[in-house]
A and B are shown apart, each in its own frame.
Chain A
Amino acid sequence: DQQVKQNSPSLSVQEGRISILNCDYTNSMFDYFLWYKKYPAEGPTFLISISSIKDKNEDGRFTVFLNKSAKHLSLHIVPSQPGDSAVYFCAASAHTGNQFYFGTGTSLTVIP
């Protein structure tokens, strides 16, 4: 059973608007979360992370929000740019574990 789920396989957003990508997890032991971005023919590249001691982490246009009670995190991109068009993966791990668990990805298209 998947422990990390990204229920939206795709998302289209107008340039300049906000993109919101969602991720849900089932394991309450997860305490560290990452977002990766993947362009075609390239490997995933690290984007932003958040630890469970925080509920928000911001890096430029990218902000990740964590709602532990709902076991939900989201990635906000504002303003969205055409170069943000890619597949976004969320990943989670527990400090007691030894691996990351990944979602299936959401393909974001930013329309110029």
Chain B
Amino acid sequence: ETGVTQTPRHLVMGMTNKKSLKCEQHLGHNAMYWYKQSAKKPLELMFVYNFKEQTENNSVPSRFSPECPNSSHLFLHLHTLQPEDSALYLCASSQDNPLAGGQETQYFGPGTRLLVL
């Protein structure tokens, strides 16, 4: 596989469930990102990992818990979500340190469409 892959592509969960989203990049990049895209809203950056270290957490509620075991894999663990968390969750990666300018082009996965009932 090439590029950035995400699984699952669709997820329906209840508010008491625990689930995880997975992202894998095959580009040899060092930085990975989670974004949330809600209807009629711009992409919202949630988390940034650079060389496996979390460098950004944009005031995301603790019911979203990221994990980056290595530079190629990124997880988003979900628990006790709310219906308003229903959205498209996009993972992205870029070559270099986002703190060194934040201007490396980001490559996106296809997203996970999440519905919280």
Which of B4, B6, B103 has the largest number of chain A CB atoms within 10 A?
Answer: B103
Contact between chains at A93 and B103 (CB < 8 Å): yes
For A91, the chain B residues whose CB sits under 8 A away are 43
For A104, the closest partner residue in chain B by CB is B42
For B45, the chain A residues whose CB sits under 8 A away are 99-100
A103 to B45, CA, bound (A): 12
Contact flag A43-B109 (CB < 8 Å), given A32-B103, A95-B103: yes
- 8 Å CB interface, B40-99 against A: 40-43, 45, 48, 55-56, 58, 90, 92, 98-99
Q: Identify 16 residue pairs between A and B in the complex whose beta-carbon atoms are under 8 Å apart, listed by A's number.
A: A2-B42, A32-B101, A43-B4, A45-B108, A46-B107, A89-B42, A89-B43, A98-B55, A98-B102, A99-B56, A99-B102, A100-B45, A100-B106, A101-B42, A103-B42, A105-B42
Q: B interface vs A, CB < 8 Å?
A: 4, 6, 9, 40-43, 45, 48, 55-56, 58, 90, 92, 98-99, 101-103, 105-111
